[in-house]
Amino acid sequence: MRLHEEMLGRELERSQEEDVEGTAGGKPRLGHKLRQWMRTCQDSKLYKIMFCTAQPAHVITIAAVLCVTSVVLPSSEKPGNLVAGQPHSQLTSFVYLASFVMHFGSQIWMTFVSGLSLYFALPRHTFGEVQRILFPRYFTLNACLSLTTLLIYVKHHPANSWDTEIAVQVIGMGGAFFLELLIRLYLTPPLLKLIDLKTSLERAAGVGAEIGRHEAGPLKHCPHYLKIHRAFRRIHMTIAMGNMLTMACTVFHLYYIASKLCVL
């Protein structure tokens, strides 16, 4: 903990020295002006509400629920054949299939290719920095793609025409969308904060350069670090389970699409 506090103090001194250098000669440099502007924005009330509280996440979740609910309400429109496709709906069919394929492809790549390959090829801290950038983008992209797939599917299959098969597909796609949205809004931010805390403590203790394994070194006897590590593992495992559930929903819909194909 003492080494960690010393490291934070050195970073603060370095930041202050950069501010002094930025104003050398009486004219603030562009980089110094940008840093001052960023600090002013971060100290503002709007920034704290948007990025330091859960209120925006609540608003987005409510908006998503209202959006999906308004789409699945009973309609007088006649159902269309989405997979077979009519000439006037070829563009819609293309967007539907493209969003689904990209969603499924990103899940396979992130879960079985990118994650495993980088974990066994990069130092643990480097891998953590990569995952820290990819995690928010991954779940944001997947939530948008699953919502696109769901909306187009429901548009072509109004609620008053649902049978058991269609209802199960809508429930599966809706569950995948809301699960990815909740992971992005409520689990990813605390996970990123825990990654930052773990990384700063491990760097101060001189560990984190190992590849393909976790070694706490002198931190294995630190109660503060062990508490952070347990919280990290708990949230990470919850996210992993949620990701596998969304993959199961995607594979289930893939099987449905395959059963409706008429080109083979």
Tell me the per-residue pLDDT of 141-190, one tens digit each, with 9 for 90 and over: 999 999 999 999 988 888 888 889 999 999 999 999 999 999 999 999 99
Residue 225 lies in a domain: yes
pLDDT for the residue numbered 80: 47
Assess if residue 31 is contained within a domain.
no
Instruction: Provide the β-strand partners of residue 211.
Output: 123
Query: What are the angstrom distances between the C-alpha of 81 and each of 68, 90, 257?
Result: 21, 11, 12
Mention every residue, 6+ apart, whose C-beta is less than 8 A from residue 190.
235
Residues of the domain holding 139: 85-264
Q: Look up tokens 């110094």; give the residue.
A: 32
In a domain, 193, yes or no: yes
What lies within 8 Å, CB to CB, of 246 at 6+ separation is: 107, 142, 146, 175, 176, 179, 180
How many domains is the chain built from? 1
Residue 64 domain-assigned (yes or no): no
Read off the pLDDT of residues 156-169 as tens digits, 9 standing for 90 and up: 888 888 889 999 99
For residue 248, is it within any domain?
yes
249 belongs to a structural domain = yes
Q: Is the pLDDT of residue 79 over 60?
A: no
- Residue 199, pLDDT > 80, answer yes
Give a yes or no: residue 52 inside a domain. Answer: no
Average pLDDT value over all residues in the chain: 81
* Domain membership flag for residue 195: yes
